[in-house]
Structure 1
Amino acid sequence: MKIPEFQKNRFGLFIHFGAYAVNGKSEWLKSHEKMTDEAYQVYIDAFSPEENCMQEWARLAKLAGMKYAVLTTKHHDGFCLFNSKLTDYSTQKTLNRDLVREFVEAFRAEGIKIGFYYSLIDWHHFDFPHYGDLQHPMRTDPKAFEEEPQRDLNRYLDDMHGQIRELLTNYGKIDIMWYDFSYNNPVETGLPNMKGETWRATQLVAMMHDLQTDLIYNNRIGSNGGMLVADPELYAGDFTSPEQLVPPKGMMNEKGELVPWEAAITMNHTWGYTNNPFAYKSSKTLIHALVDAVSKNGNLLLNVGPDARGHFPELAAERLVAIGKWMDQNAASIYDCQAAPVDKPEWGRYTYKPATASQGAKLYAHIYERGVGPLPLAGLEGKLKSATLLSDGTRLNMDRPWNVSKFPNDAFLELPWFDSLPDDSDTVIEFELLDGVNLAE
């Protein structure tokens, strides 16, 4: 998948799945509680997802209108969901199952593009820095301090590159590599900053492109600036990945140029599974996040953390179904769409589908608030040909109301609903433009 297709698809599923699901709290538990490998082993031993659970994931993703999916093949705990010849710390060893292969087969069967998350960090590998590292569970452990001279980061990097090679060789065409993450260590530790060429980044990018010519990858191999600086590094990534927010105005580099981006957002407050049912965003909020991202030239990667048995939490599944119901009627305002060349309206958002050889440009009004009187469309008088309720094809009256003469540059749409909207989450109106109209001018 090249970047133009990525930007047309707009909506993806993020899946954080691993032994940390057993604790029901956080994928960061091992670091937060400074757990030893021995203490963490209870979660490894208890992790046993049900057969065929990923077929249900793929079905729900398809239902929600998601075009691609990204699975955590290895999170920071170092436990691999795939069959690796470079470690026994994997589901292949504990379960005799390659969960990554199961994921690939299930999602490909639904026509969904494949992405792999891979943690550059590894809290299990002996040769990854322990004592003094900013994140490692054993960062203050006296035994780790004694063992630190025995570690060889190059041995870890050989294994890391080798595992990425396995992922890009053994599972057919892969569309996305989603890396996580790079950081600076405290200067006083004498440890390297874990970013860029510490990861042998140039070599890594060359290997990826050699193995998968259409692969795209995110910005987290290098520095925080990544793609946003005027002169980005070779390994800056193909898209940038803001986390837990939709940027106020999209993402631009220091030259003022738009860059591809994808907002990674959780449904609740954690990436991995939590058994806390009170922290979920509503379906309405999640639909608004998707629309907001597209209205600023971005994608939304919406996360679900399956439980230890491999099931999507009921509240997560309900939200995917609700989003899918909305997408069934309004997907035309998301796929192939981008920021509109008009100002953001006070009542909602605009998305825009540029003209093609076979179809004229379309402007989509995403109405969140009904307001009073006709809907104001600032600066659009004399530019709109027709207005249609996207959900059912109803044509709406485009006649200019009698009471708007003092606003000659603004168009107005008479809404037939006086105190409500057909869709409380987001009512979408599709506008055709008059022949010859270019909103960008």
Structure 2
Amino acid sequence: MPESTASTEWFETARFGLFVHFGLYSLAARHEWVRSREAMSQEAYDRYLERFDPDLFDAGELARAAKAAGMRYAVLTAKHHDGFCLYDSALTSYTSQRAAGRDLVREFAEAMRAEGLRVGLYYSLLDWHHPDFTVDVHHPLRDTPAAREPRDMARYRAYLHGQVEELLTGYGPVDLLFFDFTYPGKGPDEWGSQELLAMARTLRPGILVNDRLGVPGDYVTPEQYQPDRPLERDGAPVTWEACHTLNGSWGYDRDNHEYKDPALLVRMLVESVACGGNLLLNVGPTGRGALDPRARQTLRAIGDWMALHERSVRGAGPSGLTAPANTLCTRAGRRLYVHLLAWPLRHLHLPGLAGRVRYAQLLHDGSEIGFHEQDGAGHEHVNMAPPGQPAGTLTLTLPVTRPDVLLPVIELELADDE
């Protein structure tokens, strides 16, 4: 198998991406696993196929919303577990092209590139529509006579590989491929994972492929879980991306109102960067293809914060410091960023930074922050410095009033030799 020639530099610089789950399940509006959860027959599920009309799906508007939110790449569900394809596949008629006369993958890829965003495609390894995908614990027909029908995974595997080849050869440069997923009973042998990975790297040298083929990929993908420390494999750091929903459902879920607050999402983004990772934030367009008002509002709120604080996450990474309580720290070159999860009264103490900082400011408005230093002999360099701090402590003097931003950030300019 060809070795990966992929560079993760763009990925680790971008730090923030958009995930888009859209398909027939969006019309059901009750989770993307609706067909499996309700053990729905193909005939029953096809009522959504007959009514699929994404008249409000505007890839250009989606790309502009992602860019304004501070995202620099996006991933679309080219095919989800139900087997419905959002592109014009020559291998099946179960497509958006046949249902609605539109190749949504092409629209998506072209729109993202037009806004300067990197293009990622999600492809489900499962397929509940294909007649040769063997019925298993996740399949909607698991408790029906179909579970005993003979099926040929070799034929399905050829179909799977053929569809991935279509996506990698028919839609221009694809920067990222998000496979989903491997589980007991369906693994590398069933998917032909080594061959699939080799094909992707041959057809698109430099592509990043995730870790869900059951073999090592270029980056790992914790889902609905927020790491609180850098991720490692065999003691070495790995490239990673946490993927999260707005409300617990990947597909449009009309009656689910458990939305994460924009401030929490910003905190999750910063926490990812502070631990050396990315955040891929999902939206599930409605059955007509539009973003619902809550999703639009959330993206705008995050974008307002990113407009002022982008450099604390874009191109940044772990600070290498032990962050004080109620803070998250990131670093980009000689700039250290302290994100304040709780606003302190007047003073913030930063152990070990005395003598290492040239200038301090609030990032959102560029207003200077005064500071005091405790030298190695315990002497205060400036009168009125708070007593009782250990040697080497840098103490910042903050305004009493918390800035009106989702997450206040202090930018510290480090000395030239840092």
How far is 1:123 from its partner? 0.3
Structure 1 partner of 2:141: 138
Structure 1 partner of 2:205: 213
Work out the number of aligned pairs and report it.
Answer: 403
In structure 2, distance between residues paired with 1:198 and 1:146: 18
In structure 2, distance between residues paired with 1:161 and 1:10: 30
Structure 2 partner of 1:188: none
Residue from 326, 329, 335 that aligns with 2:314: 335
Deviations 1:59-85 (A, max 9, x none): 110110100000000000000000000
Q: Note closer, same or farther for the CA distance 1:51–1:274 as it changes in structure 2 (3 Å cut).
A: closer
Structure 1 partner of 2:407: 426
In structure 2, distance between residues paired with 1:408 and 1:278: 49
How far is 1:47 from its partner? 1.7
Structure 2 partner of 1:12: 17
**Structure 2 residue 234 is the aligned partner of structure 1 residue 251:** no
Structure 2 partner of 1:123: 128
How far is 1:51 from its partner? 5.4
In structure 1, distance between residues paired with 2:57 and 2:97: 16
Letter in 1 for 2:239: P
How far is 1:405 from its partner? 4.7
Paired residue secondary structure (1:88): coil
Structure 2 partner of 1:403: 386
Q: TM-score normalized by structure 2?
A: 0.94
In structure 2, distance between residues paired with 1:278 and 1:293: 25
How far is 1:403 from its partner? 2.1
Paired residue secondary structure (1:399): strand
Deviations 1:283-339 (A, max 9, x none): 101100100100000000000000011111100110100111111110010111001
8 Å CA contact 1:21–1:273 kept in 2: the answer is: yes
Q: Percent identity?
A: 42
8 Å CA contact 1:19–1:47 kept in 2: the answer is: yes
How far is 1:54 from its partner? 1.6
Residues 24-423 of structure 1 aligned to structure 2 (within 5 Å): 24-50=29-55, 53-130=58-135, 133-142=136-145, 144-147=146-149, 149=150, 151-184=151-184, 193-222=185-214, 235-253=215-233, 255-276=234-255, 278-354=257-333, 361-400=334-373, 401-415=384-398, 417-418=399-400, 420-423=401-404
Letter in 2 for 1:81: L
How far is 1:134 from its partner? 1.8
8 Å CA contact 2:305–2:405 kept in 1: the answer is: no
Q: Note closer, same or farther for the CA distance 1:393–1:371 as it changes in structure 2 (3 Å cut).
A: closer
In structure 2, distance between residues paired with 1:406 and 1:379: 11
Q: Note closer, same or farther for the CA distance 1:300–1:68 as it changes in structure 2 (3 Å cut).
A: same
In structure 2, distance between residues paired with 1:10 and 1:423: 24
Deviations 1:347-391 (A, max 9, x none): 22000113xxxxxx1100111211223111122122111102111
8 Å CA contact 2:86–2:97 kept in 1: the answer is: yes
Paired residue secondary structure (2:269): helix
Residue segments in structure 1 that go unaligned for 5+ positions in a row: 185-192, 223-234, 355-360
Structure 1 partner of 2:378: none
In structure 1, distance between residues paired with 2:179 and 2:57: 26
8 Å CA contact 1:347–1:371 kept in 2: the answer is: no
Give the RMSD, CA atoms, in angstroms.
1.3
Deviations 1:240-293 (A, max 9, x none): 00011211213111x221100000000111000011252111110110010010
Letter in 2 for 1:181: F
Deviations 1:182-222 (A, max 9, x none): 000xxxxxxxx211122111111111011100100110000
8 Å CA contact 1:368–1:424 kept in 2: the answer is: no
8 Å CA contact 1:262–1:300 kept in 2: the answer is: yes
Residue segments in structure 2 that go unaligned for 5+ positions in a row: 1-5, 374-383
8 Å CA contact 1:368–1:425 kept in 2: the answer is: no
8 Å CA contact 2:54–2:100 kept in 1: the answer is: no
8 Å CA contact 2:219–2:239 kept in 1: the answer is: yes
The worse-fitting range, judged by mean Cα deviation, of 71-80 and 422-431 is 422-431
8 Å CA contact 2:122–2:180 kept in 1: the answer is: yes
Letter in 2 for 1:236: P
Q: TM-score normalized by structure 1?
A: 0.89
How far is 1:107 from its partner? 1.2
Paired residue secondary structure (1:240): coil
Deviations 1:161-195 (A, max 9, x none): 000000000000000000000000xxxxxxxx211
Deviations 1:77-136 (A, max 9, x none): 000000000000111111111111111111111111100000000000000001xx1211
Structure 2 partner of 1:227: none
Letter in 1 for 2:272: A
8 Å CA contact 2:372–2:385 kept in 1: the answer is: no
In structure 2, distance between residues paired with 1:387 and 1:145: 65
In structure 2, distance between residues paired with 1:426 and 1:336: 18
8 Å CA contact 1:334–1:351 kept in 2: the answer is: yes
Structure 1 partner of 2:3: none
